Amino acid sequence: MTLVDRFLKYVSFDTQSDESTGLTPSTPKQMVFAEYLKAELESLGLEDITLDGHGYLFATLPANIDKEVPTIGFIAHMDTSPDMSGKDVTPRIVEKYDGSDIVLCAEEDIVLSPEQFPELLQHKGEDLIVTNGKTLLGADDKAGIAEIVSAVVYLKEHPEIKHGKIRVGFNPDEEIGEGAHKFDVEKFGCEWGYTMDGGEVGELEFENFNAAAAKVIFKGRNVHPGYAKNKMINSIYLANQFINLLPAQERPEHTTGYEGFYHLIGIQGEVEQSTVSYIIRDHDRAKFEDRKKEMERLVAQMNEEYGEGTVTLELRDQYYNMREKIEPVMHIIDTAFAAMEAVGVKPNVKPIRGGTDGAQLSFKGLPCPNIFAGGLNFHGRYEFVPVQNMEKAMKVIVKIAELVASK
């Protein structure tokens, strides 16, 4: 089975996660895919294959070298984003893309155009796997899984490439921020690992946002509107006031690079009670803490104005910037950098404007930077992945294994 065949098979599985269930995996369909992968890894002759009740699948490619070599791991997630359906994905390959518009769905006039997505033009002449415009594709992160499995197969078929013990790990629920929660780092048994979950070719990431979730609840007082003067307190207006107290220029649509933000992700409201939900993000830990304090200050300010208990804040940290855990072991970045250069990929070290399982794993004792998987426009109908991107990612995995063994 080729890398492309493997990827096309994987995206046929609907593995959308769901944060509302409180289960791990959050959806039973992820376990269906995990069982398929387990059977595939068994057929490929991998060893120490385990699939636990929470959907974490581990396997080993044994070392083919006598000397002591660090055990390293490659990790990818099985779920797809709740943002759009991953059911009945119908991919097609646009061979030798010519730079023009790609009609995904003629009947609904859904077009993947370089006018809206100029990054398409960087892949002229390549073979692009696209959707039919009705679902996401699932390259995030089934491209990563396909690359890892294909790299392992390649290493088995080329014993002249010497490598140490390699562990592979496939987990559920990354898209809802819980992919690493029940990941057994001790059982995985690696000195370090790499998540294959980045985007464009060359991406190498060891910095990510510090992240928190905030829920702000506003209590109103409902009175018949005909007799409401000086009595009614409309919680919807309180919520609107709070939203406008946060700086408009510190929203995601106005920030880039290392700039953090407050992102309003949900609002529910009636006169009696309203709730707004935010995610808070910043690469700088001190600025991150300041953002949370600003939320607390604004809540206190509104309670002073409307009465204690009118506004309550529920705040929880989600994950932290892995940089502080990677900096002491920067050789693992150097190795990935050298591997990319060796296979003709220009490394692009950049901060993740988001999170990754690797961040949580790094804080659990498994340093785990993130490497490109090759897909673009994740989480929606315009998602695509160049075949050549996946091939390069697979080569990087093989080269990392080789370089670790050669040192």
Catalytic residues: 79, 174
Which H or E run contains 281?
strand 273-282
Closest to 64 (Cα-Cα) out of 156, 148, 152: 156
Closest to 244 (Cα-Cα) out of 264, 218, 268: 264
Tokens of 103: 């009609």
Tokens of 125: 């002449």
Half-sphere exposure of residue 93: CA atoms within 13 angstroms, side-chain side: 12
Alpha helices, DSSP H only, in 78-219?
139-157, 185-188
Collect all residues with Cβ–Cβ distance below 8 Å to 217 and sequence separation of at least 6: 273, 274, 275, 311, 312, 313, 314
- The span from the CA of 390 to the CA of 372, in Å, is 9
The per-residue DSSP string of 72-109 comes to: EEEEEE--B-TTS--TT---EEETT--SS-EEEETTTT
- The span from the CA of 51 to the CA of 168, in Å, is 12
- The span from the CA of 148 to the CA of 373, in Å, is 10
- The span from the CA of 9 to the CA of 6, in Å, is 5
3-state secondary structure 128-150: EEECCCCCCCCHHHHHHHHHHHH
